[in-house]
Amino acid sequence: MERKATRKENECEEQNSNSEGSEQDKDYKTSLITLNVGGYLYITQKQTLTKYPDSFLEGIINGRIMCPFDADGHYFIDRDGLLFRHILNFLRNGELLLPEGFRENQLLAHEAEFFQLKVLSDAVKSRWEKEQLASRETTFLEITDSHDRSQGLRIFCNAPEFIAKIKSRIVLVSKSRLDGFPEEFSVSSNIIQFKYFIKSENGTRLVLKEDNTFVCTLETLKFEAIMMALKCGFRLLTSLDCSKGSIVHSDALHFIK
């Protein structure tokens, strides 16, 4: 009798544990929400979407806001599906984390306002304002010629884009090949250091793209950099000494934009 009773007790315990497990599985499944945002499917937990009270997503989950369903029964929200990734990451992390080089601040701010996430909207606008201020910072350009074979012509600019423009204008010609910009003359993304390359290797020349002009002197290269600076909106700060003649004969030229 005691054995039968023990067996029945064990069976009851197993049934209870199984029922508890199935209830937990059911609760876990019902806590997962699938959203169709502009054709992109996102799966997340209910607690993530309800993190900020009075937000659009919290209103949908708790029934305060009516939301249509797609053909598969998922909540459908007619917004930018790609940008929603950043909305969801904000809900998960509690802070604004964007990939390097992100340039859609204005669009993301609009999305944050639609989803009634004021904290996110303020964070995006603050980031946007900082970028706007950074873009207005003064850009410096310096072109120096030490007349020293070990140094040659040095071009510094705190805007890497201008250095890239110069590099895109010049190619190295060696044995009738276009080899691209000679990297040994590039010190960093802000500095190019041209040495007396013409005499360093026979048969090697630099060419200006488009007009195929051989660069045989550093003065020619300096003149090209000056013309590019003026076309890009730089203003010359240097007081030129008329006794030196042409602008290319000045030892140092300073520009600002």
DSSP letter string, 66-116: ---B-TTS-EEE-S-TTTHHHHHHHHHHSS----TT---HHHHHHHHHHTT
Q: Who contacts 185 (Cβ-Cβ below 8 Å, separation ≥6)?
A: 192, 193, 194, 195, 197
Q: Are 144 and 193 in contact (CB under 8 A)?
A: no
Same domain, yes or no: 186 and 127? no
21: in domain: no
Burial of 143 (0-12, 13-18, 19+ CB in 10 A): buried
Same domain, yes or no: 63 and 120? yes
Alpha helices in 136-185 (DSSP H): 160-169
At residue 210, the pLDDT reads 82
Could you count the other beta carbons within 10 Å of the beta carbon of residue 61?
18
- Residues 195 and 138: their CA atoms lie apart, in Å, by 28
Same domain, yes or no: 128 and 166? no
Answer whether 0.75 is exceeded by the pTM. Answer: no
Q: Who contacts 25 (Cβ-Cβ below 8 Å, separation ≥6)?
A: none
201: in domain: yes
169: in domain: yes
- Would you tell me the crossing angle of helices 118-135 and 84-93 to the nearest 10 degrees? 110
At residue 10, the pLDDT reads 58
At residue 254, the pLDDT reads 94
24: in domain: no
Domain range for residue 45?
32-134
Is residue 138 helix, strand or coil?
A: coil
Same domain, yes or no: 109 and 150? no
14: in domain: no
Same domain, yes or no: 130 and 150? no
Low-confidence residues of the chain: pLDDT under 70:
1-30, 134-136, 147-151, 175-176, 196-203, 241-245
Same domain, yes or no: 60 and 87? yes
- Residues 256 and 245: their CA atoms lie apart, in Å, by 22
Number of domains comprising the chain: 2
At residue 250, the pLDDT reads 84
Alpha carbon 230 to its chain centroid, in Å, reads: 28
10: in domain: no
Residue found by looking up tokens 């305060």 in the block? 64
Same domain, yes or no: 207 and 222? yes
At residue 149, the pLDDT reads 56
Residue found by looking up tokens 């010049």 in the block? 170
Count Cβ neighbours within 10 Å for each residue of 41-50 and write b for 16 or more, e otherwise: ebebeeeebb
At residue 142, the pLDDT reads 95
Same domain, yes or no: 128 and 78? yes
Of 99, 134, 169, the domain-final residue: 134
Of 87, 117, 134, the domain-final residue: 134
Beta bridge partner(s), residue 69: 75
Of 111, 134, 157, the domain-final residue: 134
Same domain, yes or no: 129 and 145? no
For residue 236 the two structure tokens come to 């010359």
Same domain, yes or no: 130 and 145? no
Same domain, yes or no: 184 and 112? no
Angle made by CA atoms 208, 211, 214, in degrees to the nearest 5: 45
